[in-house]
Amino acid sequence: MSPQTSHPSFKNTYFRLRQSFSRLTLGGDWIVALSDEVKHNLRWFWFDGLFAAASENILLTYLVLYLLSLGASRTQIGLMSSFSSLSAALLLLPGAFLVERIGHRKEISLFFGGGMARLVILSLALLPWFFGNESLVLLAIALSVMRDALIHLAFPAWMSLTGDIVPLEIRGRYFGSRNFIMGVAGMITILFVGEWITRTEKPLGYQLAIVLAFLLGLASTYSFSRLKDAADRNISLKPPSLNIPELFRNVRMHPIFLALCATTFLWNFSINVAGPFFSVYMVQNLRATATMVGIASIISNLCRLIVQRKVGELTDRWGPRRVQLISMLLIPIVPALWAFSTAMWQIYIFEILAGVVWGAYNLASFNFLLSLIPEDQRARYSALFQLTVTVALTLGAALGSWVITQWGYPGIFLFSAFGRLIAALFFARYVIPPKQPNKVSSLEKFSYREDDEG
């Protein structure tokens, strides 16, 4: 074959690959009917998720191990989780009222979540070079708590903006695509960083990993900054007063939302009784290295990836509530299995189930929440919902810090499993939204027809 004929073939292949990647960043082929501005936002929001997942997975997997390497105790790890949730709870409602007072949802998200919170990550990495002994552990815990608080201050603005960026009729499939690439990014970074830490002197390996998390976080911040918040100027700003009684009187008019908050409280309380101790259990009882802990996370993420697209389709077709309920009934099996584990290979098997059910739950629950809260008050309702979550996490971690000393790891895992099951049954019984008219847009008709053919 001559160079003249191979060159066009190469260009055609490159063009097709570029088109395929472009469609992937938009969530799939079903977005052809959307405006250019919506496509622009979907693409940059996709990249934001890619880099944010790579950054957050490093911290979620290895931050606790980093603190253990600095000398933190199990009790301190549990209290850190409790204080993180408590400090976040104190800032959620102010974050919502800040949005309602001044608007500028993107700017608020960038300043607190994309800016200050990520500078704290860099500070965590630098601590061992400036402090030592007990003060080092306490400062590291304080910075971790501060980071979570800043993220939650930005959360209402982020949630309000997200609801406007992604059209309702494609949320399941778009977030399925976005979550897929987030899972790929998380899996790759966990594997790479885990091997890096294992081969590097401690705590230097952890420090370098956290610096990498900071740099990836900056890429996420840049991607988020490219979003266009056209709806921001149309937001009707509320008076600046923080009227808590009026807020709760308003929420009482939405009993299904209240029922969701109640079941969510019990659900997250039960989760965080054991949540801070899974990584600690692997390291202290199963003698796992950082690489082994990373492999467990990778298995979970890989299984999550496999189900994401199908879960997105099912969420759009069945509705997010049904998918969320099924996953909630299956999730309690995971900590119950952990209670009887004696080797890391067993954990790897358990994480296959965890990846599938948590992948379904995370996608469906987010879309279900967006469908329940009033669009014109998304910031305050999302803040109230997250406040419920963080108070539950605070109390769960506090109780877990005591339970672990009395019952040990098997007891705490079984306690968590039982609480999750009760929450799932409450969700099935009480969180039943009224049926909506079956309205199908032209975009939905196009996308469903395409899916049926595929």
DSSP 237: P
Burial class for 249, CB neighbours closer than 10 Å (0-12, 13-18, 19+): exposed
Average pLDDT score over residue span 392-408: 84
* Residue boundaries of the structural domains of the chain: 35-229+246-432
Instruction: Assign 244 a pLDDT band (cuts: 50, 70, 90).
Output: low
Q: Treating both helix axes as pointing N-terminal to C-terminal, what angle do 378-430 and 133-165 enclose, rounded to 10 degrees?
A: 90
C-beta neighbour count of 2 within 10 angstroms: 6
Instruction: Assign 448 a pLDDT band (cuts: 50, 70, 90).
Output: very low
What is the average pLDDT value for the chain, to the nearest integer? 80
Q: What is the pLDDT of residue 292?
A: 85
- Could you read off the pLDDT of 123-156 as tens digits, one per residue? 988 888 887 666 888 898 889 999 988 988 888 8
Average pLDDT score over residue span 104-126: 89
Q: Helix, strand or coil for residue 235?
A: coil
- Could you read off the pLDDT of 4-49 as tens digits, one per residue? 554 556 656 655 655 555 555 555 555 656 677 777 888 888 899 9
pLDDT at 445 over 70: no
Q: What is the dihedral of CA 139, 141, 146, 148, to 10 degrees?
A: 160
Share of the chain above pLDDT 70, in %: 82
Question: Residue 300 and residue 245: Cα distance in Å, rounded?
Answer: 42
pLDDT at 166 over 60: yes
- Structure token pair of residue 162: 């997200």
Nearest alpha-carbon partner for 406 in 275, 272, 273? 273
pLDDT at 382 over 90: no
- Structure token pair of residue 175: 């977030």
Question: Residue 84 and residue 1: Cα distance in Å, rounded?
Answer: 64
Nearest alpha-carbon partner for 189 in 359, 79, 52, 387? 52
**Using an 8 Å Cβ cutoff, are 151 and 188 in contact?**
no
Instruction: Assign 231 a pLDDT band (cuts: 50, 70, 90).
Output: low
DSSP 436: P
Share of the chain above pLDDT 90, in %: 23
35-229+246-432: CATH topology: Growth Hormone; Chain: A; (1.20.1250)
C-beta neighbour count of 258 within 10 angstroms: 17
Give the chain's end-to-end CA distance (angstroms, integer).
35
pLDDT at 377 over 80: no
- Could you read off the pLDDT of 264-300 as tens digits, one per residue? 999 999 998 988 788 888 988 888 887 888 888 888 8
SS (H, E, C) 262-280: HHHHHHHHHHHHHHHHHHH
Question: Residue 290 and residue 294: Cα distance in Å, rounded?
Answer: 6
Peptide bond into 203 cis (omega under 30): yes
Question: Residue 184 and residue 302: Cα distance in Å, rounded?
Answer: 7
